[in-house]
Structure 1
Amino acid sequence: MKKTAYLLFAALLMLPHMMEAKRKPDWVKQRPNDPAYYIGISMMPKDGSTVEYKQAARNNALKQLSSEIKVTVSSNSVLNKIETNYQFVENYESKVETSVLETLEGYEVSTWENKKEYWVMVKLSKERYARIQQMKLDKAKMLASAFLSDAKKAIAINDAFSALNYLAKATTSLKDHLESDLTYKTVDGKYNVGTEVFSTIQDVFRRIELLPVQSSYSIQFSKQLTVPIGVNAFFLSDTGEKVPLTGFPLSFEFTKGESVLASQAKTNLDGYAGVSITRLISKRKTQEITSTFDFSSVMDNENEEVKHLLEIFFPDKQMPSTFIAIEVQKSKAYLITEENVFGELDDHGAFSNMIKTQLNNNFFTFTTNMDDSDFVVKVNSKFVAGDSRKGDGYEVFLVFAEFSISIYDTKSQTEIFADQLSGIRGMRPGNFEYALKDSRLKLMEQFEKKIEPRLEQVDM
């Protein structure tokens, strides 16, 4: 009797577990294998708040589901049709895979729980997913094609800026589908809308011609000045006529040297755009302004991802541009050099000539008459032979270099600048002459890197 009662009690204790086991759905017991669905399953222990573990379980299930969706790059995709930056392609493919999770829709959700666990299964019909993706792709191609059509209408009336704006919008329309086949069918046939957008951008760029009003300017260095810089823009029409380009945004910047000038301007009815240099900062003798299409005008308010995409479709190297040389009239200087090579003075030292050329190109016009100069520049360089180091079948020679420069104002008879370099080491196999050449090159590199920027700040 006691044994029967014990067995009955044990059965009652096991009853909840037996009932739970019966209630537990098959997908919790064993992951289903359904080739018609993408499936994600997740279990979370009931720790923390109800909202937290339920949300975590659903997120994990969706991540698992999205990992089953393989993104492939079509052989007819724009990524395979145009010359793109490899890093961009790599980042884009990675982004596409992660964005699958962000754009999932139309999936089914099942849940099950007991006292300790919370389970979630999400299922997405492969056929439904493919249909939704195709609808999105078709919409993107249709929108891009409409913008492309608007761009070609603008080209026909010689409105290059509007054309490029429409082409930028067409590019942005395709941003989530670059890996797909972008073939678009119309009543006139079919074409790849991605490559057609890219080739149309190139066509617009090829038709634009920028010509400076003056190819070069000679400017006396001054903290206060106004020098107008002008550019004329033309567009090659469908009939082959070169017409002034109206309302076209240009950017202006010093690509060699530095100055204060307006950085943007739009062409007027005659195709002219102008800015002014209001202050020279760099004292380099030869400087350069580059004027080009103001690419920022089609990227306003875009995020970094879209900007990177537009940079692929609007490559720098194909942008219409022109160059304007700026020759800065320099102060006259008298140069005194002393070069010591291996303990002997060299009146015609190779490094002294290198420094003279560098200073002449960037800072001074040298004169042979000290009385006619504004400044006196004293340059000293010294090259000392070090030891040699033998290796297996070779011998390396060392030469150490040091350098000093000082600049005097002839009117005030005061030193206005001084600097020096030391500890520069040249090293080459063969002999000390090879090491000497290496030390000269390294000394010049350090001069350009450390001393020249300081020289540019001196009022000369």
Structure 2
Amino acid sequence: MRRIFAWLVISGFTAASLFACGGPKQQAKPQDKQLSRQQTADIRARADAAFEDLDAVERGVPPPKREEPTPPPKKEPPPEPPKPYKEKPIVVPVNPARARPDWVGSQPNMEGYYVGVGVSTSHGNEEEDWARARTNAYVELASTLKVSIRSMIKDYFQEKNLRLYDKDNITKDQSSQNSDYAQDASFFVDTTLEGVEIVDRWKDEGQKKFWMLVRLSKAEIERKIRERLENARKKAEDYVKAAVAAEGQGRIGEAFKGYFFSYLALREYFGGIVEYDINGDGKKEILNHEIERAVTRLSTSLDWKAEEPNRKAVISQALAQPLRVQVIQGSTPVKNLPVAFAFQRGTGSVEPHTTTGEDGVASAKVVKIFGQKQAIIGARVDVGALVENERDRRIVEAKFGNDIDVKTGKFFVELEELTAFIDIREENLGEEVRPGSVAADMKDLLAKELGMTFAASAKGADMEITGEAVTGECSDMFSQRVCVARVNITVADRLHNRQLFAKKYKISGNAENDKSAGLEALRKVGPRIAREIIKAMQ
């Protein structure tokens, strides 16, 4: 009853207010707006609260206390992406009248810094000349740093009471080129030069040379090295831990990946020894050795069963059925393992990357195949699919490639020879050339690359290659004569009743006289045509 009375009072007050103001103002008809359920509930809650407050006033009691509604959380703006590194512009002024600085021609000693001096001879573009001087200064700085980094790493390991890997470590003599970790140190240096500071530059107006002095903080380099070493050790342990767990659960592809990444992390450790309890027996082993054993163990535990390993095909044609290989470990099919198919003998086009399914089977289509009598196609663990980039793939292949190749799948394809008939007329300065060199040169290259054989006539041949090569235009070039051979060639594929291509070429040769220059031009025709045929067929 009180709510009805309150509503009447409010309505009456509103009407009286409007009447006192001259009545309601004319407004445009509002557009229908559909409220959401949440908005409707909020309006009802506020109305109920107003009635409760009015009721409390009528009864002479204080209105009930209510908690303020929690405002919706403000959306945080997305973090700004990191700004790409921009090389610092050269801001060191150049005074043409300045005397020759002491550091020109003699590397200065700056406490707390590695320094490099670069020089460039003028090529007419001052901006490019300074850029070349800067690059040369960077090269000298990097050379100095690559020598010093070895002592830094050695000091770090001595300070931490850690050992270096004797088999292949960073502290070997600088002249030794067989240290993989030394190569990693060089790679680290080459990617660390963005902090270089340009200290001074000088333009030698008399000699037309540009000189530049740069420096790099020793403390910053030492900090980066220590940071890299600490991160590398942790990554190596984390990756090998994940690899062991994956191997125990039968996830062979993930196990390979973990061992590979752990090895790559050890490379970042610059040859330091990491001791780790890899098998949980409470005894720590040298992780470098344990990873090698693990990859060998995994590789030799896999059996590769090629389905229909012996096939037949016509050269340049596709295989009728895709290659299929099953990978098993013991009696269990290995699923989700990346597999790479590649030619081990012969050439062609094969689907390179695939993955085993639930049944452990990986398959690949062979689109074209070439070779002499027999081609061999292998299937193995796809290292490239398990690492991040081509550099890492090469590193892992160099280390573990022989272990991975101990057991693989192989397919042997007996090739039916492709026969060709070649008829090329040769003419040099109006005289027919017999015997010519064009057809003979073509046969040598086509037989070697495609396993092609040759027929004495077009009848029954799979391909027919006809045309002419004629020389007739000669001119002077310095102290020699140059003659041009005009070549018209048509290649017909009789197997598919189609023209493979028809092309015209101009090929030049030079010699002391016209006849020799013409013959030299004709000698270049055969290899050129053969390469075009190989390209078109492959």
Provide the TM-score with structure 2 as the length reference. Answer: 0.46
Alpha-carbon separation, structure 2, partners of 1:228 and 1:250 = 14
Conservation of the 8 A alpha-carbon contact between 1:257 and 1:288 = no
Match of 1:356 among 443, 460, 464: 443
Who is 1:93 aligned against?
189
Distance 1:398 1:335, change over 3 A: same
**Counterpart in the other structure of 1:274:** 363
> Which whole-Å CA distance do the structure 2 matches of 1:325 and 1:290 have between them?
9
State the Cα distance separating 1:263 from its structure 2 match: 3.3
Distance between the aligned counterparts of 1:409 and 1:339, measured in 2? 23
CA distance in 2, matches of 1:401, 1:87: 50
1:421 corresponds to which letter in structure 2? Y
1:233-312 correspondence runs (5 A): 233=327, 246-247=334-335, 248-253=337-342, 258-259=348-349, 261=351, 263-266=353-356, 273-277=362-366, 280=367, 284=370, 289-299=377-387, 302=388, 308-309=391-392, 311-312=394-395
Tell me the CA shift for residue 231 of structure 1. Answer: 3.4
Larger Rg: 2
Contact map agreement 1:232 1:273 (CA 8 A) in 2: yes
RMSD, matched Cα? 5.7
Superimposed CA distance per residue, residues 299-325 of structure 1 (whole angstroms, 9 cap, x where no aligned partner): 3xx5x5xx6345423438545366646
Say which of 404, 413, 422 aligns to 2:506. Answer: 422
- Within-5 A mapping of 1:93-132: 93-96=189-192
Shift of the alpha carbon at 1:293?
1.7
How far did residue 168 of structure 1 move?
A: 2.8
Distance 1:146 1:284 in 2: 46
Q: How does 1:15-414 map to 2 (within 5 A)?
A: 71-72=149-150, 74=153, 76=164, 80=170, 84=180, 89-96=185-192, 137=229, 140-141=232-233, 144-145=236-237, 147-148=239-240, 151=243, 160-171=252-263, 173-174=265-266, 177-179=268-270, 181-184=272-275, 188=283, 191=286, 193-194=287-288, 197=291, 200-201=294-295, 204=298, 212-213=306-307, 217-220=311-314, 226-231=320-325, 233=327, 246-247=334-335, 248-253=337-342, 258-259=348-349, 261=351, 263-266=353-356, 273-277=362-366, 280=367, 284=370, 289-299=377-387, 302=388, 308-309=391-392, 311-315=394-398, 318=402, 319-320=404-405, 324=411, 333-340=420-427, 345-359=432-446, 362=450, 366-373=454-461, 376-382=464-470, 401-407=485-491
Quote the Cα distance in structure 2 between the aligned partners of 1:436 and 1:208.
61
- Amino acid in the other structure paired with 1:171: Y
C-alpha offsets along residues 190-248 of structure 1, whole Å, 9 cap, x if unaligned?
Answer: 63x4565457546655776757555663335899874121335577xxxxxx9887334
Conserved 8 A contact 1:284-1:363 = yes
Displacement of 1:405 after TM fit?
A: 1.8
State the SS of the aligned residue for 2:191. helix
8 Å contact 1:253–1:263 — kept in the other structure?
A: no
- Bigger relative contact order (CA 8 A; separation at least 6): 1
Q: Where in structure 2 are there 5+ consecutive unaligned residues? A: 1-111, 114-144, 155-163, 173-177, 197-216
Q: Match of 2:275, SS?
A: strand
Normalized against structure 1, the TM-score is what?
0.52
SS at match of 1:349: coil
| Distance verdict in 2 for CA 1:404–1:209, change over 3 Å | farther
Question: How far apart, CA to CA, are the structure 1 residues paired with 2:258 and 2:179?
Answer: 21
Moved more, 165-174 or 77-86: 77-86
Deviation at 1:340?
A: 4.0
Query: Following the alignment from structure 2 to structure 1, what is the Cα–Cα distance between the partners of residues 328 and 472?
Result: 60
Instruction: Tell me how far 1:167 sits from its aligned partner.
Output: 0.7
Amino acid at match of 2:381: F
Structure 1: gaps of 5 or more residues: 1-37, 40-66, 101-122, 236-241
User: What is aligned with 1:111?
Assistant: none
Structure 1 pair 313–253 and aligned structure 2 pair: CA distance change class (3 A): closer
The equivalent residue for 2:199 is none
1:450 is displaced (CA, Å) by 4.3
The one-letter code of the counterpart of 1:456 is M
Please list the CA deviations of residues 330-367 of structure 1 after superposition, one character each: whole Å capped at 9, or x if unmatched. Answer: 77654323334676545543431221344456396644
Q: How many residues align?
A: 343
For residue 250 of structure 1, report the CA deviation from its aligned partner: 0.7
Cα distance 1:338–1:389, how it changes in 2: closer, same or farther (>3 A)? same
Note closer, same or farther for the CA distance 1:359–1:387 as it changes in structure 2 (3 Å cut). Answer: same
Distance 1:413 1:272 in 2: 37
8 Å contact kept, 1:409–1:416: yes
Q: 1:71 to 1:386 in 2, by over 3 A?
A: same
Give the structure 2 partner of residue 443 of structure 1: 525
> What one-letter code is carried by the residue in structure 1 that aligns with 2:275?
Y
Report percent identity of matched pairs: 14
In 2, Cα distance between equivalents of 1:363 and 1:418: 22
When you count strand as a share of all residues, which structure comes out higher? 1
Residue number in structure 1 paired with 2:19:
none
Q: CA deviation at 1:419?
A: 1.6
Matched residue, 1:26 = none
Q: Return closer, same or farther for 1:325/1:422 CA change in 2, 3 Å cut-off.
A: farther
Q: Is the 8 A contact 1:249 1:293 kept in 2?
A: yes
Kindly tell me: are residues 356 and 204 of structure 1, through their superposed partners in 2, closer, same or farther at Cα, counting changes over 3 Å?
same
String of CA shifts for 1:122-159, please: whole Å, max 9, x gaps: x9999xx98x9869846743552464466568779997
Change (3 A) 1:147 1:441: farther
- 1:275 is aligned with what amino acid? A
| Structure 2 counterpart of 1:308, one-letter code | R
- The change in CA–CA distance for 1:291 and 1:139 in structure 2 (over 3 A counts) is same
- Cα offsets for 1:239-290 (capped at 9, x unmatched): xxx9887334212256865547473032766x6533334xx3x585667645
Q: Which amino acid aligns with 1:274?
A: S
Q: State the alpha-carbon separation in 2 of the partners of residues 228 and 413 from structure 1.
A: 25
SS in 2 for 1:182: coil
Letter in 2 for 1:246: V
Letter in 2 for 1:179: F
In structure 2, the partner of 1:34 is none
* Deviation per residue, 1:78-105 (Å, 9 max, x gap): 66387539876533223356699xxxxx
